[in-house]
Amino acid sequence: MPESRCLQGIWSSPLIFIFAASGSAVGLGNIWKFPYLLGQNGGGAFLLVYCLCLLLVGLPVLMAEVALGRTVRSNPIDTVNDLSERRIVHSAWVVAPWIAGITGFLILSFYSVIAGWSIGYLERAVSGDFKGISHEGAASMYDSLLASPGEMLLWHSIFMMLVVLTVGQSVIRGLSAIVRILLPSLIIILVVLATYSLVIGNTSEALAFLFHWSWQDITFDVVLSAIGHALFSLSVGMGAMFSYGAYMNKRMSIARACTIVVGVDLLVAILAGLVIFPLVFALNIDVEAGPSLTFVSLPIIFGSLPAGQVVGGVFFVLLVIAALTSAISMLELFVAWMHEKFYIDRFKAALLLGIAAWLIGIVVLLSFNHWDNKVLFDLNFFELLDELTSLILLPFGAILLSVLVAWFIPRSMLQNEKVTKQAGHFKWWYNILKYISIPMMIVITVAGWIGV
């Protein structure tokens, strides 16, 4: 077993794992993607199904990924090779970590473009461009950013550089300090903004939209989006949490740590919803607007808020850092593998992968303007990558990983891990993973792909 993890050090305090894993989970998925998915999928119905998916799929799979990572303390690719040498699994299983790594890499290519928008908005916030902005003004600000590939390229490049520089360091050093400050600050600022938005916005409609549901709203598409987003938002199914699990202290209960991560992730997402929807309903912004929803609503809030220039500036700095702590986990699988297997310097590995993802990102940012034509299935390149990763690759990666843990890894090997504090709870997790999470992911995603 490679010793390099031990050389880099096991995370000494249990809190550090929780911070780092939450740093990966909390990001644009919570603040940018979750609100628009809520808008597109009927509000309360989506929220309800999403919470169930977190509980029945997200949490058990997250625990499986972390448990496997901590048991073997290696990178996913070497782990599968090692398991196949020990005849625990067939060598063909190596496709699973490869798919996971490729998924993370593809997500990074478009994630960096959206994180770039946040840098662009940071610049606008501190320049005072939001002051007194109207709905039309905010919409045209968003449109004009998307119509400027040059500007988007600049921000995308800056963000990717930050990612490469951070991943190039050791993840432990890069992450632990940042996230400790980031998460509490982000939650505080979201609470302030949500309170303000509930005061100035259309609270009753927003709350009704977010928390009321009816059976007919729960369609297959809603369930598929909810599962896809639960995996995306918890960063599971692509090896990131596996890698962080490998750094985790053996004494800590995986169940408890992962429950906290899921809780923090959900809290941030719901707060983001509470910031955005009161305003959306007050100004009659189209709830189904899609990716523009957050970027059109927020400037209006900052534009009318006393000291909005400062609050807006701080908010977008936090958003960019949250995106950064997520983005670095997307490269971790391949970087750790290249470093441990071929002794390639972490920075060089990160640079190589970063450049490749940056190039794909250029096609993504052009798909918002010059290449806005539909490439396949009525989707442009950005939409295609987004749907391919969230609805196909992440579920596929999560299914393979869970099947590996639930059906192939000897139960005794997992039982030696402190997955749950009490032995009785282990059975619950194991059976839910085996008989609920895996069948649910298979049925819903396969049915979704074939278009039921």
* φ, ψ at 379 (rounded to 5°): -120, 145
Least separation in angstroms between residue 268's CB and ligand PHE is 9
Least separation in angstroms between residue 28's CB and ligand PHE is 5
Residue 329 as a binder of ligand PHE (CB under 6 A): the answer is: yes
* φ, ψ at 419 (rounded to 5°): -70, -45
Distance CA 117, CA 114 (A): 5
**Of 29 and 354, CB closest to ligand PHE:** 29
3-class SS of residue 376: strand
Least separation in angstroms between residue 450's CB and ligand PHE is 25
Residue 238 as a binder of ligand PHE (CB under 6 A): the answer is: yes
Look up residue 306 and give its DSSP letter.
T
Residue 235 as a binder of ligand PHE (CB under 6 A): the answer is: yes
Residue 433 as a binder of ligand PHE (CB under 6 A): the answer is: no
Residue 336 as a binder of ligand PHE (CB under 6 A): the answer is: no
| DSSP annotation string for 211-260 | H---GGG--HHHHHHHHHHHHHHTT-SSSHHHHHHHTS-TTS-HHHHHHH
Least separation in angstroms between residue 226's CB and ligand PHE is 14
Q: How many residues bind ligand PHE (CB under 6 A)?
A: 16
Q: 248 is written with which tokens?
A: 């985790």
- 196 neighbors 305 (Cβ within 8 angstroms): yes
In the set 326, 367, 420, 437, which binds ligand PHE (CB under 6 A)?
Answer: 326
Residues in contact with 21: Cβ distance below 8 Å, sequence separation at least 6, in sequence order: 66, 235, 241, 244, 257, 258, 261
Q: Which residue is nearest to ligand PHE (CB)?
A: 29
Residue 232 as a binder of ligand PHE (CB under 6 A): the answer is: yes
**Of 309 and 329, CB closest to ligand PHE:** 329
| DSSP annotation string for 76-127 | HHHHHHHHHHTTSS-GGGGHHHHHHHHHHHHHHHHHHHHHHHHHHHHHHHHT
Subset of 21-50 contacting ligand PHE (CB under 6 A) = 24-25, 27-30
Least separation in angstroms between residue 423's CB and ligand PHE is 31
**Of 78 and 332, CB closest to ligand PHE:** 332
| DSSP annotation string for 160-178 | HHHHHHHHHS-HHHHHHHH
Subset of 90-129 contacting ligand PHE (CB under 6 A) = 104, 107
Provide the binding-site residues for ligand PHE, judged by CB under 6 A.
24-25, 27-30, 104, 107, 232-233, 235, 238, 240, 326, 329-330
